[in-house]
Amino acid sequence: MKEMADRVIEHYERHARAWDADRNRHVEPWNDKPWHDRFAAVLPGGATVLDVGCGSGAPVAVFLAEHGFHVTGVDSSPTLISLCHDRLPDHEWLVEDMRLLALPRRFDGILAWDSIFHLAPDDQRGMFDVFARHTEPSAVLMFNSGPAYGEGVGSYRGDPLYHASLDPDEYTVLLDNVGFEVVAHAAEDWQTGGGRTVWLARRRTRQNS
């Protein structure tokens, strides 16, 4: 499975423009928008948001920008990042491997939507230290996972695509270990998340830690 996980970066670069077209084919209403509404609602006005695995910037980063937030987007695909630049030139876009991310600043919110579940289990575990290094006190984190521990290979446009998930209890422990508490969690949310398993968490202030 590690070999399949290692192919994800090149997969998204190879299919970048097709993925962008598919993701934005039916933008209104997009089936996971209610969770992004919820994320936006708990951020302070003018918040800075780190979008980890930002894709092409639409519809999610566009939505965040429309709410007055400043987005720093990170993705491993140069083509996807170029689409972000075209759509939102006043925001910041970086070609980076999320596993190695070490920016010299912290953010009010971190979004890892449809992204870290492409990482192998050990790499997912390592992402929680990445999140902690990049968050302000009381920052908000939202990501999605699978509903239970496992690895699998699906396909996109006939090309194999790796996914993995940790156990829900482990995600809770990992969040707690880096100072986050779960605000909301839904497994396989078909009503408001397009079938995704979603985690919304807030970093504890020092007084509450």
**Has residue 35 got a pLDDT over 50?**
yes
Cα angle for residues 162, 2, 168 (degrees, 5° grid): 65
pTM of the model as a whole: 0.95
- At 207, the pLDDT band (50, 70, 90 cuts) reads very low
The whole-number average pLDDT for the span 137-145 is 97
Q: Calculate the dihedral angle through the C-alpha atoms of 12, 14, 17, 23, rounding to the nearest 10 degrees.
A: -30
- Short-list 55, 103, 51, CA closest to 79: 55
Task: Say how many domains are in the chain.
Answer: 1
Q: Is 200 helix (H, G, I), strand (E, B) or coil?
A: strand
**Strand, helix or coil for residue 122:** helix
Please say if the pLDDT value at position 195 is more than 90.
Answer: yes
pLDDT at residue 78 tops 80: yes
Query: Which residues span the domain enclosing 99?
Result: 2-208
Q: How confident is the model at residue 138 (pLDDT cuts 50, 70, 90)?
A: very high
Helix (H, G, I), strand (E, B), or coil: what is residue 24?
coil
CATH code: domain of residue 112: 3.40.50.150
